[in-house]
Structure 1
Amino acid sequence: MTLVAVTGASGKTGWRVVDEALRRGWSVRAIVRPESRLPDALSAAEREGRLDVQRLDLSQTEALQHALSGCDALVIATGARPSPNLAGPLQVDALGVREQIQACRAVGLQRVVLVSSLCAGRWLHPLNLFGLILVWKRLGERWLETSGLDWTVVRPGGLSEDDSRCEREGVLYSTADQQESNSIPRRLVGRVCLEALETPAAIGRIIEITSSAAQPLQPLATWLAAQA
């Protein structure tokens, strides 16, 4: 991968996607909101010239297109945050994803991985008390699926901040609407996103992921090959 862009790169999952990509020696363009504070690891990478950081509002069409120009792939790690604004999930997880899709098409960026959520599209779920978040996530997924881009949707379960779990847990992969609960470290989500970019068989797939110590270690490519 020559240059990968990551939106939502200052968020709890997004910064781990960026950090994992840098550890692999990839060139990364981190796209963050103007007021966002970068985690220490990314701030250091920016100071050292190992990370290109673009600060912009994703609703700024020309700025977003400029930030995506020259990139070979995009990981969309944006997501609505808890807020009194119940329109936030609609604005971020649906309309915000659509804006990013349109920008990709405008600049000829073809490969996109979207971080969504387990149970996306479900109506009867507690998460929907927060502005129908799963409903809007599914709408964002659908816009990506019909975009004509080379897409992959990654649906993680409950997101854990415990990165140490990554070294002792394997990923449980499944197709759409097969899993309903269990969790996964955010860093493992980042690793799966990058594996998806490296794996042509991931294109056009919705991949649900959780993890556990009982699950054997298995690369995404191995699981996808078994699905063929």
Structure 2
Amino acid sequence: MQRLAVSGASGKTGWRLVEEALARGLSVRAIVRPESLVPPAWAAAERDQRLQVHRLDLSSGEALLHALKGCTALVIATGARPSINLAGPLQVDAAGVQAQVQACRAVGLQRVVLVSSLCAGRWLHPLNLFGLILVWKRLGERWLERSGLDWTIVRPGGLSEDDGRAEAEGVVFTAADQQQSNSIPRRLVARVCLDALEVPAACGRIIEITSSPAQPMDSLQQWLEAGPGQAGST
């Protein structure tokens, strides 16, 4: 059985990733902050040994290596939280991603999907009022792109908590730097990340995603087979 690691697993996108992965029959290792609360629903999966929870700080190299050892893939869903600490995005979205990339290389984990953001790398954007978050997200992307790992970067638009939208809207897929706004439910983001792990053609691509009720419910594989072109970098 494949064992998937999910970092940031107690976050709003992360716990959905864990839930969707378990529903697909994957064994999951959830990586969370030491103080994080986890959903009570995880208890049954832990009892069945389909889920392991590792509590650690990403700056703890040995703990991170231990958490990733034996996993076949990693979805990085960590992200800086709104805070008066303007260094948070640098610490989490850049340095934190770098630490995870280095740990993957050290333990031989080759396949990584990173949840980033639309407009990553842009300077003139309101989100950058929060510690230059889009600048640091792009730096984190670059660490992964240059890692030698099999990577996919997923850039979602504005994140919605409405899971009901996931059953009523299709995903708008584009390559890098094609979308600037619009939203997508976190549930769909989780599904696209897991789909990317199953589609070899998703490797080495930056994929931007939003959703719309007017969009056909095509899969990631269908979009890639239609020939979206090479995902660019900025």
TM-score range, shorter chain: over 0.9
Contact 2:152-2:202 at 8 Å conserved across structures: yes
Q: Distance in 1 between matches of 2:36 and 2:49?
A: 19
Alpha carbon RMSD of aligned pairs, Å? 1.0
Alignment of 1:46-195 (within 5 A): 46-195=46-195
Following superposition, the deviation at residue 33 of structure 1 comes to 1.0
Residue 182 of structure 1 aligns with an amino acid whose one-letter code is N
User: Which consecutive unaligned segments of at least 5 residues does structure 2 have?
Assistant: 230-234
Q: Write the deviation string for residues 37-71 of structure 1: whole angstroms up to 9, x where unpaired.
A: 00233244324433111111111101100110000
Contact 1:15-1:42 at 8 Å conserved across structures: no
Kindly indicate whether residue 58 of structure 2 is the aligned counterpart of residue 20 of structure 1: no
Q: Distance in 2 between matches of 1:85 and 1:139?
A: 19
Q: After TM superposition, which residue ranges in structure 1, 4 or more long, deviate above 6 angstroms?
A: none
Contact 1:98-1:143 at 8 Å conserved across structures: yes
Contact 1:172-1:209 at 8 Å conserved across structures: yes
For normalisation by structure 2, the TM-score amounts to: 0.95
Alignment of 1:203-214 (within 5 A): 203-214=203-214
Residue 129 of structure 2 aligns with an amino acid whose one-letter code is L
Q: Distance in 2 between matches of 1:145 and 1:87?
A: 23
Tell me the matched-pair count: 228
Q: Distance in 1 between matches of 2:203 and 2:80?
A: 25
Contact 2:26-2:50 at 8 Å conserved across structures: no
Q: Distance in 1 between matches of 2:131 and 2:48?
A: 40
Q: Distance in 1 between matches of 2:152 and 2:185?
A: 19
1:188 match: secondary structure: helix
Q: Distance in 2 between matches of 1:178 and 1:92?
A: 25
Following superposition, the deviation at residue 118 of structure 1 comes to 0.4
Moved more, 48-57 or 125-134: 48-57
Q: Write the deviation string for residues 95-131 of structure 1: whole angstroms up to 9, x where unpaired.
A: 0000000000000000000000000001000000000
Residue 112 of structure 1 aligns with an amino acid whose one-letter code is V
Contact 2:33-2:56 at 8 Å conserved across structures: yes
User: Which consecutive unaligned segments of at least 5 residues does structure 1 have?
Assistant: none
Alignment match, 1:3: 3
Q: Distance in 2 between matches of 1:213 and 1:54?
A: 37
Contact 1:86-1:130 at 8 Å conserved across structures: yes
Fraction of identical pairs, as percent: 78
Contact 1:175-1:207 at 8 Å conserved across structures: yes
